[in-house]
Homo-oligomer: A and B are copies of this chain.
Amino acid sequence: MRILSMQPKGFRCCAKNVGIKDTTLDFTVIASDVPAAAAAMFTQNRFCGPAITVGREHVSNGRLQAFVINSKNANVATGEEGLANVRELVGLVAEELNIESEDVLPSSTGVIGRQLPMEKLRQGIAGSGQQLQYGHLEQAARAIMTTDTYPKMHCCRIGNATLVGIAKGVGMIEPNMATMLAYFLTDASVDPEQLRVCLKEAVEPSFNMVSVDSDTSTSDTVAIMANGLAGEVNLADFRQALQDMCLRLARELARDGEGASKLIEVTVEHALNAQQAKRVAKSIVNSPLVKTAIFGSDPNWGRIAMAIGKCYEQDTIVPEKIDIAFGCIPVYHRGLAVDEGHLSALKNYLDHDEIAIHVSLGLGEEQARVWGCDLTYDYVKINGTYTS
């Protein structure tokens, strides 16, 4: 039994192509050798898929032993048949792994409105129990990809334990309560209720602060299993490690947003409350006019002002108290444009591939930070032909 240095103990996986759409990896099973404490969060989209329904049921007792995930088909808007299909898949995987069906959390991502190709999936599941291998998580990170350009995976140590996380995006991304798909595995021993709290705390300032295109997926899932094989860890260290990893993966989702050429980070400070800060920051990062200006390195900072101002319901917002800067370059100061001499510096700054926008509302002490990406020709190209 070979354990890669930076992989948690007792997790095996297999990733394969079962032919759902093409010949790339489209199916993965990740299993713990023993039942694990578990927590998960799911999309708030009201058209959520049956995998979400089953996942909610199965994680409700705080215990899981396997994730089974397919890409290339979201199994959404597929009615009773879609739900029966998920239950069958979960049962087949449980049988293969000789574990309880209720300990399997399923996910599907891809096109909406088509039934899963069950015969291909049944054939793919057959024998997968024997194919599980320790390590190999990068293959799993690859198998869950749709339009991602590279697999997203991070590892870290917490005392004697290891935490690993994988995630995929990168279109239909404005998560609410969870992101597209992200999975965490650890061999730390953590109580299920603590795990649930840690996950919730980590997701809000990370995945829930990402928006690639303001569209919230029907399949968002973030889930964690802690199998305890490395024993107890300091809980504060674990919380911090999970938060840091969520943040790193969330930034990567934004950076790899469909067609993106630049990462945009918006920080809104001195808001009256955290909700106001998030509302304004999301308004900026989601504005197609802001996103296209950044793509074109056009120093049209007035669009930031527009995006702040269109948060009508924030009736405490007053232009005369607001500051706007790109990186360290101030462009607007409490009612007035800063000297236009800054525009050439701004134009140079906009040629970078990470653009930081800072806004102070001048009202209070709260802040929010969100991540997104520019809107490019490639976003239009990718999404004009997704199913064609």
Residues of A within 8 A of B (CB): 44-48, 74, 76-81, 111-115, 171-172, 174, 176, 213-218, 286-289, 292-293, 295-303, 305-312, 314-315, 317-319, 331-332, 335-337, 340, 347, 375-377, 379-388
The contact of A45 among B309, B376, B386, by CB within 8 Å, is B309
Evaluate contact between B47 and A213: CB separation under 8 angstroms: no
Identify the closest chain B residue to A385 (Cβ).
B296
Evaluate contact between A332 and B292: CB separation under 8 angstroms: no
Q: Which residues of B contact A382 (CB under 8 A)?
A: 292
Q: Which residues of B contact A288 (CB under 8 A)?
A: 213-215, 288, 375, 379, 383
Question: A314 to B306, alpha carbons, bound, how many Å?
Answer: 27
Question: A78 to B332, alpha carbons, bound, how many Å?
Answer: 9
Evaluate contact between A379 and B302: CB separation under 8 angstroms: no
Identify the closest chain B residue to A383 (Cβ).
B292
Question: A208 to B361, alpha carbons, bound, how many Å?
Answer: 28
Q: Which residues of B contact A81 (CB under 8 A)?
A: 336
Dominant secondary structure of chain A at its interface with chain B: loop
Question: A78 to B172, alpha carbons, bound, how many Å?
Answer: 37
Q: Which residues of B contact A300 (CB under 8 A)?
A: 111-112, 386-387
Evaluate contact between B47 and A388: CB separation under 8 angstroms: no
CB distance from A352 to the nearest CB of B (A): 16
Given known A-B contacts A45-B310, A79-B335, A288-B213, A112 and B303 have beta carbons under 8 A apart: yes
Question: A320 to B387, alpha carbons, bound, how many Å?
Answer: 24
Show 25 A/B contacts (Cβ-Cβ < 8 Å), sorted by A. A44-B310, A46-B309, A46-B311, A46-B312, A78-B337, A81-B336, A111-B302, A112-B303, A112-B305, A113-B301, A114-B340, A174-B310, A176-B310, A214-B214, A214-B287, A215-B306, A215-B310, A218-B309, A288-B288, A292-B384, A293-B384, A293-B387, A296-B388, A300-B386, A377-B377
Question: A77 to B331, alpha carbons, bound, how many Å?
Answer: 11
Question: A171 to B290, alpha carbons, bound, how many Å?
Answer: 12
Q: Which residues of B contact A174 (CB under 8 A)?
A: 310
Question: A318 to B213, alpha carbons, bound, how many Å?
Answer: 24
Evaluate contact between B46 and A319: CB separation under 8 angstroms: yes
